């Protein structure tokens, strides 16, 4: 599959896909003319990359972590700790976001209730 197809399939821009490759997150082979050809699992991989980016992991961290998903032999204790750290961070972030959501929901509630007198 070519870059346009992968872009359409994932919602990531071609620019982003090239960036992922540049950062070592995504592999491609090339046609004789130099255009990128992506293997079958690329869609899932890009989806995963997007998830991790959205979770606040930067590309370097993702590059460290990603290989282990496909290759269990690459798992080191150091990486396990790293991963656990990221998990904790994301969990804390979710906690914090939940509280903030409650604040926003409370405000929306007030909007819904108070102007009922109007």
Partner DNA sequence: CTTGAAGCTCACATCCGTGTGAGGTTTTAC
Partner DNA sequence: GTAAAACCTCACACGGATGTGAGCTTCAAG
- Is residue 69 a contact point for its own copies (CB under 8 A)? yes
Q: Provide, rounded to whole angstroms, the least separation between the CB of residue 97 and DNA.
A: 15
- Compute the distance between CA of residue 118 and CA of residue 5 in angstroms, rounded to an integer: 52
Among 15, 84, 89, 101, binds DNA (CB under 7 A): 15
CA-based nearest residue to 35, from 3, 78, 9, 61: 3
Question: 24, 43, 48, 59: which one contacts DNA (CB under 7 A)?
Answer: 59
Minimal distance in Å, beta carbon 73 to DNA? Answer: 26
Spatial separation of the C-alpha atoms in residues 12 and 48, rounded to whole Å: 12
**Strand, helix or coil at 72?**
helix
Q: Does 60 bind its own copies (CB under 8 A)?
A: no
Token digits of residue 78: 């150091």
Q: How many residues bind DNA (CB under 7 A)?
A: 25
Residues 15-54 that bind its own copies (CB under 8 A): 48, 51-52, 54
Q: Please report which residue ranges of the chain form alpha helices under DSSP H.
A: 3-10, 14-22, 42-54, 59-70, 77-113
Using CB under 7 A as the criterion, which residues of the chain lie in contact with DNA when the complex forms? 2-5, 7, 12-16, 18-20, 23, 31-36, 50, 53, 58-60
């Amino acid at each position: 599959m070519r870059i346009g197809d992968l872009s359409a399939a994932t919602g990531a821009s071609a620019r982003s896909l090239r960036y992922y490759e540049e950062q070592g997150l995504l592999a491609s082979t090339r046609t004789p003319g130099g255009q990128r050809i992506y293997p079958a699992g690329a869609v899932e991989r890009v989806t995963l990359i997007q998830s991790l980016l959205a979770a606040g992991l930067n590309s370097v961290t993702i590059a460290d972590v990603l290989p282990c998903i496909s290759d269990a032999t690459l798992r080191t204790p150091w990486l396990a700790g790293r991963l656990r750290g990221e998990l904790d961070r994301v969990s804390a972030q979710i906690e914090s976001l939940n509280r903030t959501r409650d604040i926003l929901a409370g405000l929306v509630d007030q909007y819904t209730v108070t102007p009922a007198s109007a």
